[in-house]
Amino acid sequence: MQKNRGILTVVSGFSGAGKGTIMKELLLSYPDRYALSISATTRDPRPYERDGVEYFFKTEEEFRQMIADNELIEYAQYVGHYYGTPRDYVERQLSAGKDVILEIEIQGALKIREACPDAILLFITPPSAAELGRRLFGRGTETEEVIRSRLTRALSEADGVDAYDYLVVNDVVEDCVHEVHGIIQNEHSRMHRNLERIAMLQEELREFVSA
């Protein structure tokens, strides 16, 4: 079987939906299958962060140059710093046949959809609003302000969720990892990703007929 090009998967979810854990487990379970997209940022590295591992650390000038050279699939500014997704890294992983996971919030996800129509968008949610509430309200130690801002954010996230391709319920972590893996792997069987294979088959069938 020919080596397929990887699939870019965008993962978003309510804060508290546990998507960080899901992604970590997915990569630990299938290290040869997946690559995590690495963001570029202009913020300073924290002591434990290494360039090219957690982030690509850039000066503001370098980052602006990347924007000008169309080297970012998407970017945004957040509390005074730039964050973006370098196209080259993602492209190299996809070409090598790796499925690339990109964890990003909803606005970024919609920009990826524009730039890469072939990407699939997954939204991870807790099993119920009650459960989401419990996760948002925390252990009762948060201020009302924090809770209110989380709720407002969750509501705006929920409003954009129908732009996603899949809704994945995170009830039991292992089940959720299994489901995310299944969804991405089955996407490789989508007809529009196999048109070359079909064309080859048709070609060979025609040779049989004319033989």
Name the residue nearer to a second copy (CB basis): 24 or 206.
206
- 73's enclosing H/E stretch is strand 72-78
Establish if 27 lies at the interface with a second copy (CB under 8 A). no
Residues 6 or more apart in contact with residue 11 via CB below 8 angstroms: 19, 22, 23, 101, 102, 103, 104, 122, 124, 180
Which residues are paired to 77 by β-bridges?
82
Establish if 179 lies at the interface with a second copy (CB under 8 A). yes
**String of contacts with a second copy for each residue 114-153, x by CB under 8 A:** ---------x-x-xxxx-xx--x-----------x--xx-
* Helix, coil or strand: residue 97: coil
Q: From the CB of 186, what's the least distance to a second copy, in Å?
A: 5
List 54, 91, 105, 165, residue binding a second copy (CB under 8 A)? 165
Name the residue nearer to a second copy (CB basis): 40 or 101.
101
Pairwise CA distance, residues 125 & 17, whole Å: 5
Residues 6 or more apart in contact with residue 45 via CB below 8 angstroms: 51, 54, 55, 57
Name the residue nearer to a second copy (CB basis): 145 or 203.
203
Query: Amino acid letter at 211?
Result: A
**Which residues of this protein are in contact with a second copy, per CB under 8 A?**
1, 123, 125, 127-130, 132-133, 136, 148, 151-152, 154-155, 158-159, 161-162, 164-169, 171, 179, 182-183, 185-186, 189-192, 194-195, 197-198, 200-206, 208-209
